Chains A and B, each alone.
Chain A
Amino acid sequence: MVNMEISAKTRMQKEIEKQQYRALRSSSIIATTMLGLYGVFILVLLIIERIPPTEIGIYVVIFIGVLASNALAIFNRWSLKTLILLSALNVGFIYTFITYLIFNQSLPGILANLFVAFTIGFIYLDTRIVSINHFLMTLTSSLVIWIFPETLALVDPMNSQLLVINLSIVLIMGFLFVSAVFNNRAKNFNYIKLAKSKENEYRIMDSLFELQNEMMNGPIDRDVFYHDIELFFESFTSKLEMENIFAKRLELIKDIERLTDKQLVKKYKDIPFEIISELKNLSLNSKQKIRYLAYRISQISDHNNRSLNSQNAFNSFRHYDDSDTVKIMIFSAFYIYFRHQDVDREKMDTEAFITWLKKSGLDDLVEPKILSSFYAYKDVIQTIVDEAMSGVEVAL
């Protein structure tokens, strides 16, 4: 059970990271394109302002270096951690570069470029990068306002004017930061939900297989199954006039079900263990992939005929348009449902129900005040329900 939980967590974590990676990679593609466009804009500006060619050359080399490293990371699918690090470096680079230009080159309107830097940082759908971006924007704009107020093009600016501008920027950054954090948290939460949904899909299939096995006289007859497959490959290879290269693989797949890893390695010395591990997917053991996939494929037509949209896809005990009384009764029905035995499961006691309710995360879908009442009076409720279930008249 412990191993099972660890492996489920690993699978879910991997799925979450897959989704995060996908989002960050598409953000990186857009941010790198933006960076490239911005680089061209700055290059034109530097040429018009007749900045010495050697200096322009240095800027171009730096920009090309940054863009190339991004392109490498994107196309070679570097790891999520590397991509996060690179994104953070990109954000750091763009602010450093613009701040350097502000303080060292008298380019017109360069202060406004900080806003462009901000948009490039904002594009990354990752809370860490968003935090760095907002911090750097607040810091650099404040520095520029106080150290180099001429960039604001104000004649003899008063401190009060600078303070108002600075405070406005800080306030707006604060609002945008909160908003971006909301957005990224919602996205991460969705990734968790997706991973959970995929894990549940397999587990619910388990329930189905168990019920089906019980009702339809046992699981697949493996001997007959493998025998048919062997016959198929004999015909297949003879049709193609080739040696039956599938026979040994099939023997190995059958052996996977009865031999340990050590025994398998010993028996199939010429096959690397990695391949043996891959072939485990094809074992008919009900916990391996092939049966789940085959069943999933069998439901394609049913899947395509179902209409579901994001409005009605999210289950809950606390839909905003349901009345309080309905919410109370449905949660009660849910608890009592699990206190009863069903044809495919045993009944649960209150403690087990609470444990699984929390583990499954379903407790978050119950109206908090109803859940609090349930937890606070769980012993009383248990007594009431026990007595009601055993047919005793309950005095309330």
Chain B
Amino acid sequence: MRDLILKIRNSEYLSISEILSIKVGALLIALFLVSAVTIPFSILISGASGIQIVVPAAFTLTYIVALGLLFTNNPRGSMHFSILSFFVLVGSFISFSSPLYIYLFLFAILSVIIYYQQGFPFFVYGTLLTLFGIAYMLFNVDIFAATTFQSNETLQIVIYQTTLALFYIFFLLYFINSEVANDRYYQEFLSSKKYTQSYLDKIVRLKETKFESERLDPIYQRPSFQQAITEMSTFLGEMNGHRAKEMQELVEFYIYLHDVDIEEALANKNLKYKTRDTIRQLQKYLLNTNNEFTELAYELIAETKEGLDDSITDYATSLDQLLRFETDRIIANAMIYRYLKQEVTQCDKWGRVAQSLEHSEIRELYESKAIKEYLNDRDIGVFMDNEELYKKL
């Protein structure tokens, strides 16, 4: 329970599927409590008639499947069965009651689907339920009208239908809006991340050059690193219930992988599944390439760096946002061109960071869609119209 509360409090660190599991779990607990009170009560009142047997049986079946799927790490499948379970349980209450209950029941089912915050299931189930609701009211005007106090029954039905449709459409818009916001975030995050990977790639290559030219050993080749990682892993492993031998073998394999062509190793069909799986797990943490380990390490190193000047208050990249006068933007544009042409920012054919961009390459950049993040059309136009002058810069 403590773990669950801790998980909910730190929900932002959970994966989508972990959050879904918690949500399904919570709904299943609520369903269990409600069914424990209502089903025996209902049998006592109405006796064991056909429907009083079928409903609990259907509920129990869907509930057990939902629970089973949840415990077998399939929260998505479990979600669908929990919705079905809710449908059966709540549906059983309203079977003999007011038609208004049927109407409220539709909102309840839609709400449970909204609760999961999954756009596609809402679209599929929501569309079916809304169409069913509208059609049901359309073909049962007399049932609805019989229990209302209103004089204008048709108007009443139309209002009910419109409200249900608005509820569905508005929530559909909500899901679209939420997806668009997520997508915008991912695009921006992935873009920033790709630039970071690009800088890290240059760092790794520069370091390799330095190791080679100064005949230094990279960290992973130093005996002190290999000895220390063996000892620490063994110690921490034993603290967490893993045998020393198991840890030592893993460290040995990890160190060995630094000298192996991973792609080739993974392509080897004779490799045992376990070995292949271990390589897959370890490859992202090798120290001799630009990978996840490098990114994590430089995230920590970044914290120790100064970064931008104190006076800079945002991450704006567009010259428009930085400089309001065109004169200043033309100067900035010339400085950027000069920088691109002179400074070493590219790799040569041997993979060393040793080249700057040539005019034709800069021109390609100015023609690319991506440059619009930095320069507006006028700035690009100034470059294109005076290309020969820039070329001499």
Contact = CB atoms under 8 A, between A and B. Distances in A.
B47 to A, nearest CB: 20
Contact of B201 (A122, A302, A389): A302
A150 B98 CA distance: 13
B228 A385 contact: yes
B263 interface: no
A365 B281 CA distance: 16
B336 to A, nearest CB: 5
B189 A194 contact: yes
Contact of B12 (A189, A199, A253): A189
B126 to A, nearest CB: 12
Interface string A307-331: 0111001011101111111101111
B147 interface: yes
A208 B232 contact: no
Central interface residue in B160, B250, B299, B389, by most chain A CB within 10 Å: B299
Contacts, number: 486
A173 to B, nearest CB: 9
Nearest to B241: A324
Contact of B199 (A123, A204, A235, A253): A204
B325 interface: yes
Closest 9 CB pairs of A and B: A189-B12, A109-B159, A203-B302, A119-B170, A298-B345, A287-B309, A294-B339, A108-B150, A108-B156
Contacts of B214: 343
Given A122-B174, A326-B278, A394-B231, A179 B322 contact: no
B296 A317 contact: yes
A324 B374 CA distance: 45
11 contacts: A7-B312, A38-B166, A109-B156, A115-B167, A197-B189, A201-B196, A225-B342, A278-B322, A298-B345, A299-B198, A391-B223
Contact of A115 (B107, B185, B203, B313): B107
B184 A22 contact: yes
A51 interface: no
A34 B166 CA distance: 9
Contacts of A206: 302, 305-307
Contacts of B281: 319, 321-323, 326
Q: Is the interface of A mostly helix, strand, loop or mixed?
A: helix
Interface string B301-335: 11111111111111101000011110110111011
A146 interface: no
Nearest to B97: A161
Interface stretch (A11-19, A73-81, A262-270): A11-19
Interface stretch (B22-30, B54-62, B64-72): B22-30
Interface in B203-246: 203, 206-207, 209-211, 214, 216, 219, 222-225, 227-240, 242, 244, 246
B294 to A, nearest CB: 10
Contacts of A198: 192, 315
Interface string A125-147: 10000000000000000000000
A294 B340 contact: yes
A299 B328 CA distance: 24
Contacts of A171: 30
Contact of B203 (A3, A179, A208): A208
A388 B12 contact: no
A303 B194 contact: yes
A26 B287 CA distance: 43
A300 interface: yes
Nearest to B255: A333
